[in-house]
Amino acid sequence: MKVVFFANTDWYLYNFRREHAQALRQRGDDVVLVSPPGEYMVRLQGLGLRCLPFPFSRQGMNPLAELSTIVRLIRLYRDEKPDLVHHFTVKCVLYGTLAAYLAGVRAVVNSITGLGYIFTPGGVWKKFLRFFVRLWYRLILRGSQVIFENDDDRRIFRDAGLIPEDSGYFIPGEGVDMQRFAVRPLPEGEPVILLAARLLWDKGIGEYVQAARLLRSEGVQVRFILAGRTDPANPSSIPDAQIQAWRDEGVIEWWGWIEDMALTLRQVSIVCLPSYREGLPPMLMEAAACGRSIVATDVPGCRSTVRNGVNGLLVPVRDAASLAGALRTLINDPALCRTMGAAGRQLAEEIFSSEKAIKDIFKIYDRALTTKQAQ
């Protein structure tokens, strides 16, 4: 079988679909990774994976340029002749599915990795885009197998009539390598809190900084770490100058981009993600696997990973005071952190393991191909 992955960045393919692609190759399938070119494409090629650079604008709205993107994608699918295509992220799902149908691709699988920027609150223009995207989803998704990374998004799509009532699957992304992300003892000394994400306002980074200020003003001895880098292509991106200003203020430490998250989590007491909305954050799955307690917002994606009062604490979105209160609870109770960490590891073993996730994806591939044969 020949499979094409299509995503909006090579960074996404490397960090979140690398093991999936390698598992396909190990079972004898041909896999081709398609995305705009970048530094991670070289890394993927170094693993023996075939990559095709496909430049396009993630945020582009020019009708002629967008039409050109779809036409080029149709040509690519016709040239490659895949048995199955798997699309990730909003624009790739929308454009890729249309292109696959027009190119006569045998089977289509779409992963809804989150609803994206346009589904967060905004003005009239964003509401128009939401309406347009919903309409496009309704037209194209019915002939494909659709994977969701949390039950909230699956429910939204079903209730809106974007997919049939009895369709849609929940699979936690590519899952977590349970051996690499192993449990380690909590570090000794001053507690260390980590927020690792793309540096976007929508990740709740502003509230994280406010919570840090509140706890520091109370004399709480704790280190607040921010890890990640800016994403200029995203309208919610935080300027580098703002990150530097927080760093100069001394309210946070900025560790930049982290390659080895498993090693970093050994240095961390608590993981925090006060995001406004998620698909299913790998950072929280990895934290759970490593036995770290979590504080996150009670929003889609986060609440699929955190069981409130079990492996972490959920707080209202955009509420720095509640965020500070939850963090204070865990900072003052190391025994509770350990108990929640153990519960998180158990949850990860039951639900989030990469071995289980990839097996479940392969079953959906078989179902997609069988469905097309029956038709």
With a CB cutoff of 8 Å and minimum separation 6, the contacts of 225 are 192, 193, 194, 195, 196, 252, 253, 254, 255, 268
Q: Extract the tokens encoding 123.
A: 């003005």
Q: Extract the tokens encoding 361.
A: 């994806």
Note whether 319 and 139 are within 8 A (CB). Answer: no
Below-70 pLDDT ranges, the chain: 60-61, 115-130, 132, 166, 372-375
In a domain, 186, yes or no: no
Q: Are residues 342 and 209 in the same domain?
A: yes
Q: What is the pTM of this model?
A: 0.82
Give whole-number Cα distances, 82 to 5, 22, 129, 158, 309, in Å. 10, 17, 31, 29, 46
Q: Are residues 141 and 257 in the same domain?
A: no
Closest among 217, 209, 216 to 246, alpha carbons compared: 209
Q: Are residues 140 and 10 in the same domain?
A: yes
In a domain, 180, yes or no: no
Helix (H) or strand (E) holding 313: strand 312-315
Task: Provide the CATH number for the domain around residue 22.
Answer: 3.40.50.2000
CB atoms within 10 A of CB 223: 16
Give the per-residue pLDDT at 57. 86
Q: Quick one: 339 exposed, middle or buried, by C-beta within 10 A (0-12, 13-18, 19+)?
A: middle
Q: Are residues 32 and 150 in the same domain?
A: yes
Q: Extract the tokens encoding 300.
A: 């889609």
Q: Are residues 116 and 222 in the same domain?
A: no
Say how far apart CA 242 and CA 215 lie, in whole Å. Answer: 20
Give the per-residue pLDDT at 173. 79
Q: Are residues 88 and 18 in the same domain?
A: yes
In a domain, 184, yes or no: no
Closest among 177, 161, 146 to 261, alpha carbons compared: 177
Q: Are residues 69 and 51 in the same domain?
A: yes
With a CB cutoff of 8 Å and minimum separation 6, the contacts of 119 are 130, 277
With a CB cutoff of 8 Å and minimum separation 6, the contacts of 153 are 112, 114, 115, 279, 300, 301
In a domain, 181, yes or no: no
Give the per-residue pLDDT at 120. 56
Give the per-residue pLDDT at 23. 96
Q: Are residues 244 and 151 in the same domain?
A: no
Q: Are residues 122 and 208 in the same domain?
A: no
Place of tokens 């002749």: 81
Provide the mean pLDDT of the chain. 91
217 is in which domain, residue-wise?
A: 192-352
Give whole-number Cα distances, 218 to 183, 191, 222, in Å. 31, 15, 11
Note whether 120 and 43 are within 8 A (CB). Answer: no
Place of tokens 């025994």: 335
Give the per-residue pLDDT at 374. 44
Q: In what order do the strands lie in the sheet with 50-53?
A: 50-53, 30-35, 2-6, 84-88, 107-112, 145-148, 169-170
In a domain, 51, yes or no: yes
Give the per-residue pLDDT at 119. 56
> Number of C-alpha atoms within 13 angstroms, CB side, residue 118?
17
Closest among 107, 129, 131 to 118, alpha carbons compared: 129
Give the per-residue pLDDT at 4. 98
Task: Read off the pLDDT of residues 271-294 as tens digits, 9 standing for 90 and up.
Answer: 999 999 888 899 999 999 999 999
Chain-centroid distance, C-alpha 262: 17
Q: Are residues 337 and 347 in the same domain?
A: yes
Give the per-residue pLDDT at 124. 65
Give the per-residue pLDDT at 138. 79
In a domain, 207, yes or no: yes
Note whether 251 and 222 are within 8 A (CB). Answer: no
Q: Are residues 204 and 301 in the same domain?
A: yes
Q: Are residues 328 and 366 in the same domain?
A: no
Give the per-residue pLDDT at 123. 62
Report the domain count for the chain: 2
